[in-house]
Amino acid sequence: MPPLTSISAKSNTKTDSSRAPSGLIQQGVNSLQALLFDRKWYWPFVFLLLIGEALLGVLIIWKIPYTKIDWPAYMQQVEMFLDGERDYSKIEGETGPLVYPALHLYIYTLFYKFLPSIESIRPAQYMFLGFYLITLLLVSTVYYLSGSNNGNTRNKHYPQILLIPLCLSKRLHSIFLLRLFNDPIAMMIFYGSVVAMMKGGKTGWRIGSTLYSLALGVKMNILLFLPGLLVVLFQYRGIYGTIESILAITIIQLLLPAPYFLSSTYLSKAYFTSAFDFSRQFLYEWTVNWRFIDEKMFLSRERATLLLAGHLGVVILFASFKWSPIPGGTLTVLKNGLDQWSRPAIGTGQLPSYHIPLTLFISNLIGILFARSLHYQFQSWYFHQLPFLLYSGGAWNSLPLGITIWLMIEYAWEITPATPLSSGLLVLGHVLILGGLFYRRSGVSNQGKAEKKSQ
């Protein structure tokens, strides 16, 4: 009779052999799950995304010809500037007058000077690939810092799986790499400002305010973040700090055009009315979000007035009821801030780490919902923010609904030209996200509480 130990060993060997495939599969599933959700794998995952996006970007640049839209007009405007034109209202290109602030003009002047020729744009495309990768890195940093532990039990890790949708948009790759619009540059600088603000301290807020103003110096859409910015400045810096940041932003907006465009009252007026033209009319044929109404209504003043009223009303609702998530809410924050001007209106650790980007991104989305018109390049204004907003409550704490909303919005941006259906889906998606953020409690908070109970 063989020893029992030998029989047992053979039996165990057979059992282990039969279970090996399933064990390997489970190990693979666990590893993949860790890569997508475990915070310690966050930056290795981001590194993989950056490598993949860099390779894809090079492939796009080599295989797909760039789309000739605004680049020639930008270069024509630069040529007029270099030829000595200082009346901003007279600087124009084949698509019309220059309607962007001075930093936009300076940036494209650098492109003009350093490119072999304005027709040889491939070096510029590689620079925009750099902008694309820097933007992805900055956005990844915002998501990461949003889950940092600052002593608030409501903090929760924003898993890196949320970054995958940021690499899936055909339209966004086109905006950055094939059309060379100024919108991505403005947003890249803005995300840098968010990272600085989240780092905190006087230095962080000063750098953040400076970068915010520089982003505004590229394109006016950065103003959509301003209501949320004023709220977080008051909460984190108090009245004195808020005034300091507003002054810094204003001074930078004056310094940027000062060397060339502010030498007289006439030139100053020409600059500000051109670079910050709030009355500019948009073409119905290019609207992405309002194709379900007729052109007459699209161009009407009444619609513009209603949209402005809706914008202000929804901002006030969020500012009153959602942007001060502490006991006592907005009234307590106002009282604290007005009582002590030199101190923050909310104490350290009372707000979750994700509060700053969440407030700023909601402010931006409200502006986008009520925008008089959205054009295709405007997707870059908020595309990187959508997974963050959906995860923070905009999906009504429902994964299937969140995926559906994201697909609705992405579908709308991919349809060219826009149709009543695509525009309707786009507006509906925005409404659903804002409704979820207003009426539903953040999934992040709920998960944080669940974790605390389990511990």
Q: Does 30 map to a domain? A: no
According to the model, what pLDDT value does residue 8 have? 43
Q: Does 20 map to a domain? A: no
Q: Does 268 map to a domain? A: yes
Query: For the residues 305-313, what does the mean pLDDT come to?
Result: 97
Name residue 362's beta-bridge partners.
none
Question: What 3-state class would DSSP assign to 293?
Answer: coil
112-122 pLDDT per residue, tens: 999 887 778 99
The residue ranking higher by pLDDT, 30 or 13, is 30
Is residue 317 over pLDDT 90? yes
Cis geometry, peptide bond prior to residue 65 (ω within 30 degrees of 0) = no
326-340 pLDDT per residue, tens: 999 999 999 999 999
Q: Does 7 map to a domain? A: no
Non-local (6+) Cβ contacts of 282 within 8 A are 372, 373, 375
According to the model, what pLDDT value does residue 19 have? 54
Q: Does 279 map to a domain? A: yes
Q: Does 109 map to a domain? A: yes
Q: Which of 104-118, 138-152, 434-448 has the highest mean pLDDT?
A: 104-118
Is residue 452 over pLDDT 50? no
Is residue 9 over pLDDT 70? no
- Closest to 202 (Cα-Cα) out of 170, 248, 160, 261: 248
455 pLDDT band, cuts 50/70/90, is very low
According to the model, what pLDDT value does residue 118 have? 75
Of 145-154, 174-183, 265-274, minimum mean pLDDT range = 145-154
What is the average pLDDT value for the chain, to the nearest integer? 91
Report the domain count for the chain.
1
Q: Does 4 map to a domain? A: no
According to the model, what pLDDT value does residue 453 have? 40
- Closest to 440 (Cα-Cα) out of 386, 395, 387: 395
189-238 pLDDT per residue, tens: 999 999 999 999 999 999 999 999 999 999 999 999 999 999 999 999 99
In terms of residue numbers, what domain contains 142? 38-439
According to the model, what pLDDT value does residue 117 have? 79
Alpha-carbon gap, residue 364 to 359, rounded angstroms: 9
pTM of the model: 0.92
What's the distance, Cα to Cα, between the start and end of the chain in Å? 52
Token reading at 453: 């109970």
According to the model, what pLDDT value does residue 443 have? 42
Is residue 89 over pLDDT 70? yes
Place of tokens 């750098």: 207
265-308 pLDDT per residue, tens: 999 999 999 999 988 888 999 999 999 999 999 999 999 999 99
Non-local (6+) Cβ contacts of 114 within 8 A are 123
Q: Does 31 map to a domain? A: no
Token reading at 76: 């024509």
According to the model, what pLDDT value does residue 21 have? 77
